Amino acid sequence: MSDKTDSFKPSLGEMSDDQRDVYIALSSYLQQGDLLYDDSSSESWVSDETTPQTSEYSDATDMDDDKGQCEMLNSTDTAAETTIDRLVECVDSFLTSEDEESEEDDALEENVVEDRPQETRNVAKGLPRYLRGLMGEANMCFARGRYEDAVKMCLEIVRLAPTSPLPFQTLAMIYEELRDPNRSLQFGLIAAYLGTQDASEWSRLAQLCLEQGLLHKATLCLIRALRVDPHDLEMRRLLCTLYEQLGDEHRALVSCAVLARRIEEPDDCLLLSRRLVDVFRSRQNLPSAVRVLLDAATKFPAHITAEDIHTLLEMQLTLKMHSAALLVLHDHCGVQLLPLPEGHKTITAELLEDSLDAFERCLVPAELCIDIKTKLVVCLIHLGARHLVIDLVREMKRELDPEKSGDFLLNVAEAFMEAEFENDALPLLRMLVRTCNYGTAAVWLLYAECLKRLGRHQEATKAYERTCELAPRHAPSRLSLGQLLDAQGLRDQAIDCLATDSRLLQDTKDSTPEQQQDSASVLLCQARLLWDSGQREAFIESAMTLVRAHCLSVCSAEEYGAVYSNTYHLSRMKVLRELHEKRGFTPGWLTMESGVSVDELQACFLELYRALQETGRMDDLRQVVTEVLVAPMFNKDATSTQELEFLSFLAHYQDPDHVEHSFAIIRAMVLKYPNQARAWNLLGLVANQIPAWRKKGFYLRLLYKHENSLPLGVLVAHNAFLCANYKHALAEYTQLLHHVGKEEPMLLLCSGISLMRMAGQQLTLNQNCPGSQKSAGVQKSPRKFYWLATQGMAFLCRYLRARGSDCQEALFNVGRALHELGYPHMAVNMYQRALAAPPAVQEMPEVFDLRREIAFNLSLLYQRGGNNELSDWCINHYCVI
């Protein structure tokens, strides 16, 4: 290698071949652009830390060199810009992640570590040695005002060392001088991201963001600054202000809470803490309020006020933080628990939770107010320290007047009840119910509950009755009284107790959702008692009120039809709600989840369905089952909806006036379950009530979808037969016979009857045509008649063989066919054989025995032949009841 190539070696020391190639390429590029002197010459000298103080650009260049230089600069700029764009994305992602983690890091948790160590990123902080000179040259160009050259040098350094913050710092200063604040801020953020964590730098960037109106990005910069210096209160205050301007109240409160923990001035800290507590309490965020006020009390115990302690204890008791509240009473109110267990010098929360039984007495300062003393008793009761509160409760009963200070005694009694110390709560409650100011329904209810738990049912019954007198619309007390009376065997009294006016229960204007749900429980209990006692009419009224209260109302004929014109539950609900909105109707008072479970409600509905059917109230049955069909609570899954649809079908099928609705239901069932033979059978039953021409199109559309469906083919053939289209019916029957592949009696019978009907048409045509007007075509009618009759009898004979030669029904059908064709002697033979045959189902002769019908037809033949004696004998022997 030449000496010129080794010119970097004296200043940089030994280097690898790859590094040497990079240095040579960089030196050649810089010399082409006259941006760096060739330090191999004796006229220039560049140290490893700085660049030359002067530089001159060469004029001896031609056009080709300029073009190549521009292309190289453009490619260099493009690569650098790509690197910058990637770094901008990294910075944005980094700041966004900081924003997402800020809540978690600054959250109001007891185990927050204020001064957590800063994470380190694997980023190179300095420049490689071979680029330090170029960086110095760029700084010199910037100082001399040659901004364009400085930018080019910095971009080249970015391309070769993209993780160094130095070129970005210089670029930020350059664009600041060029009055391009947006670019300056962009490069400044990249430099701060790549550089050492400097709180002042992040704070300066936040100010730049504020100057440009970038509030959100300013908050992100402040979060980074506070990560580095969490004790800077001014930045914390600024962050709180920015959150308020952005409308992010939650993060503003969290940031203010952290600020309160940082403030060292007692007055300022307590003032801010009290304001935060008020805001958190207004937002029902009691855990955060407790934490803020407890931090302030722990930090400045000498400056906390009695009102602050009272507020703190009240919130802790609401949150069931009894151990923490007892610890506050010990630390700030002078309450002492003696003696301390061995090995413990102070009382801790763990000691109060685990070893409270070790304490023998509780010392309370004489000047402690009664309100705080009551909270102390409540805490001890909930912690199970009954032995420590007996003397305190006795002292309270002696000192307090129940008429004036009954609320303190009531709090203690409620605590005893919650801790299942009913024997201790009973004397206090008895004192309170005898007063004028505290003998309210709520106290009487608590007194009755206490007596009920102690097994004193008669006294509890009287207490519940008194509660119902004071609060007649309070459903839980009425329900408890009814259950208590039923347990004592007084069912009639229990029913009377629960028989409240249903209008009060459905009064949505004056009742809250909780009251309505309690009323639903009362109705359910009342319905059960009425069902068990056999009072069907009263049960129907109660159960209908309960069930319909959980359903969407279906009032008009349009709404009724909309329910059955839709196939699925959700579509039914949607169209019904649209109709309700159209006429400005408000749905029922319990359309969603209520205090009654789904299983209980479904059981009540099934009992109601049975009762309405037994009593013949079919209109009410159809109305209830229609409303249940669109109720969310009754349609929790597809199985429940399927059962309700079947029940609705049964209710509507029994009334011919509602055949349209039953047909809509069964049609939807057939479409959902095309392989279920029972669905097709039900469709056939409903179709018998509808004119044949109305269902023809529906059958044909189904036949296109289910060509191989045997039940559908039978229905199509039957419908064609009812339309007197016997040719079509015969074709369907014979095709089904071929498809079945065996002698199916019903298909054989239907085929034979179709041919007989066609033969009858030909016979009628032949008889009605005058002999003088017979044409050639008409003369063929007798031949066609005989051919059709012969074919029909052939099918009927096959039918007789398939059913058996001694089948009463088959013999009767063949005899009827011969009778209709005008062959009385052959019909008599068949009728006589049918009379001698037993019924098809001998266990049910009243249904399947056809001897009356056979004897009547036989008597007609005898009467036609003039044998009146045999005719009368058949009637008298078989047809007289």
Q: DSSP per residue over 464-523, as a string?
A: HHHHHHH-TT-HHHHHHHHHHHHHTT-HHHHHHHH---HHHHT-TTT--HHHHHHHHHHH
Domain's final residue, options 654, 682, 713 = 654
Identify the pLDDT of residue 779.
Answer: 47
Tell me, yes or no, whether 273 lies in a domain.
no
- Ranges of H-type helices in 107-198: 129-143, 147-160, 166-177, 181-194
Tell me, yes or no, whether 122 lies in a domain.
no
Identify the pLDDT of residue 29.
Answer: 41
Tell me, yes or no, whether 633 lies in a domain.
yes
Cα angle 535, 538, 543; round to 5: 110
Q: Which domain holds residue 823?
A: 804-881
**Alpha carbon distance 245, 135 (integer Å):** 41
Domain's final residue, options 612, 635, 654 = 654
Tell me, yes or no, whether 876 lies in a domain.
yes
Q: Give the end-to-end CA distance of the chain in Å, rounded to a whole number.
A: 135
CATH of the domain at 865: 1.25.40.10
Reduced to 3 DSSP states, what percent helix, strand and coil does the chain have, rounded to the nearest 5?
70, 0, 25
Q: Give me the residues paired with residue 336 across strands.
A: 363
Domain's final residue, options 654, 685, 720 = 654
Walking along the chain (881 residues) 10 residues at a time, the average pLDDT comes out as 40 46 45 40 33 34 39 49 68 62 43 42 63 90 90 89 88 90 88 84 91 90 89 90 90 90 91 92 92 92 92 94 91 86 75 81 89 93 90 91 91 94 94 92 94 93 92 85 88 82 51 71 87 89 88 86 86 87 71 72 93 92 92 86 91 83 86 85 83 71 80 88 90 91 91 92 71 47 84 93 91 93 91 91 84 93 90 88 66
Q: Are 824 and 770 in contact (CB under 8 A)?
A: no
Residues with Cβ within 8 Å of 69's Cβ and at least 6 positions away in sequence, in order, are: 32, 33
Tell me, yes or no, whether 168 lies in a domain.
no
Q: Identify the burial level of 292 via C-beta atoms within 10 angstroms of its C-beta, where 0-12 means exposed, 13-18 middle and 19 or more buried.
A: buried
**Alpha carbon distance 714, 720 (integer Å):** 10
Tell me, yes or no, whether 526 lies in a domain.
yes
Tell me, yes or no, whether 24 lies in a domain.
yes
Among 499, 460, 500, 496, CA closest to 480: 460
Total number of domains in the chain? 3
CB atoms within 10 A of CB 554: 24
Tell me, yes or no, whether 405 lies in a domain.
no
Residues with Cβ within 8 Å of 588's Cβ and at least 6 positions away in sequence, in order, are: 548, 549, 550, 551, 552, 553
